[in-house]
C-alpha cells in the first residue's frame, strides 16, 4: 500500500478532495487520479516501487514510493521547484577545463555535452531523458530499482551537499529493500559499468567522485 498525505505546511491542515497521481518508473505508466480523503490521504493498492507523485498536476516528490509519504505545501499553486526545495541544492555550472575531452550525447531533439566517460559537463543539463539516453548508450535497461537509486543519489546530494559513498548506499538500500538487494554485490550488478558510485552518479547527473579524475 502506498499512501500520500497532503497538507498545508503553515497550518498542518489536510488538503481534502485533491487529485493525486503516481507516475511509475518501472514502465512509465501513470495511475488514475485518486482524491485525498478527509485526512488528506490518497491511497494506492500498489507494492513499493520508484516513481513520482503529482498533486493537482504538479510534481511534488520523486523517489521511493512506500508506506505513507507526506507532501507539505505552502500553497496548492506554488511552483514545482518551491515544493521540492529552493534551487541551487544540486551541483551546477560548466566544469570543463582546458584540454578536457568532451562529446555530445543525443537526448531527444537536443544534444548534451558530456566528458569522455559520460559525466555531464554541466550538471544543470540533467533530465530523466538524459538518464535514459546515457543508459541506452551504456547498454543498460533502467528498471524501478535503477531509478530508485538514481533519485536517491540526487536527493542525498541535495540534502548533504556531498555524494553518497557506497557504504551510505548499502546502509540505505539494505533497510528499504533487503539485505541481499542492498549488498555491494547486487548494487554492482545493477550498475556494471563502474558500480553505483560511478555509473550511478553518471546517470544521476552528479560529478565524478574524488579520485576518479
Q: Using one digit for the tens of pLDDT, what is the confidence trace for 151-191? A: 999 988 888 878 899 999 999 999 999 999 999 999 999 99
**Cα 69 to chain center, whole Å?**
15
Beta pairing class for 67-73 and 2-8: parallel
Biggest alpha carbon–alpha carbon distance for the chain: 60
- Within the chain, all domains assigned CATH 2.60.40.1120 are found at 2-73
Q: What is the third-level CATH fold of 102-203?
A: Arc Repressor Mutant, subunit A (1.10.10)
Residue spans of alpha helices (H) in the chain: 80-84, 128-137, 144-160, 166-176, 184-190, 195, 201-203
pTM reported for the whole predicted model:
0.76
Q: Among 38-42, 73-77, 89-93, where is mean pLDDT lowest?
A: 73-77
Q: Which residue has the cell 500500500?
A: 1
- CATH class, 2-73 region: mainly beta
- Within the chain, all domains assigned CATH 1.10.10.370 are found at 102-203
Beta bridge pairs of residue 24: 51
For 138, the enclosing helix (H) or strand (E) is: none
- Between 200 and 8, the higher pLDDT residue: 200
Cα–Cα nearest to 9, from 66, 60, 67: 60
Residue 142: pLDDT band (50, 70, 90) is very high
Residue 124 and residue 92 in contact, taking contact as beta carbons nearer than 8 Å = yes
Provide the pLDDT for residue 144: 95
Amino acid at each position: 500500500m502506498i499512501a500520500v498525505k497532503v497538507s498545508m505546511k503553515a497550518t498542518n491542515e489536510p488538503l481534502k478532495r485533491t487529485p493525486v497521481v503516481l507516475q511509475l518508473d518501472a514502465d512509465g505508466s501513470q495511475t488514475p487520479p485518486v482524491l485525498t480523503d478527509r485526512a488528506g490521504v490518497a491511497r494506492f493498492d500498489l507494492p513499493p516501487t520508484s516513481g513520482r507523485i503529482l498533486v493537482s498536476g504538479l510534481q511534488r516528490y520523486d523517489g521511493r514510493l512506500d508506506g505513507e509519504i507526506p507532501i507539505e505545501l505552502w500553497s496548492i499553486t506554488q511552483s514545482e521547484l518551491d515544493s521540492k526545495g529552493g534551487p541551487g541544492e544540486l551541483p551546477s555550472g560548466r566544469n570543463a577545463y582546458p584540454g578536457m575531452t568532451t562529446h555530445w550525447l543525443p537526448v531527444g531533439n537536443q544534444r548534451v555535452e558530456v566528458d569522455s566517460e559520460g559525466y555531464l559537463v554541466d550538471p544543470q543539463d540533467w533530465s530523466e531523458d538524459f538518464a535514459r539516453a546515457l543508459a541506452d548508450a551504456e547498454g543498460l535497461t533502467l528498471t524501478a530499482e535503477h531509478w530508485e537509486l538514481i533519485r536517491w543519489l540526487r536527493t542525498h546530494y541535495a540534502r548533504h551537499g556531498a555524494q553518497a559513498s557506497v557504504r551510505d548506499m548499502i546502509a540505505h538500500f539494505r533497510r528499504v529493500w533487503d539485505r541481499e538487494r542492498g549488498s555491494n554485490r547486487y548494487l554492482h550488478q545493477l550498475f556494471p559499468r563502474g558500480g553505483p558510485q560511478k555509473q550511478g552518479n553518471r546517470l544521476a547527473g552528479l560529478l565524478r567522485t574524488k579520485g576518479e579524475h
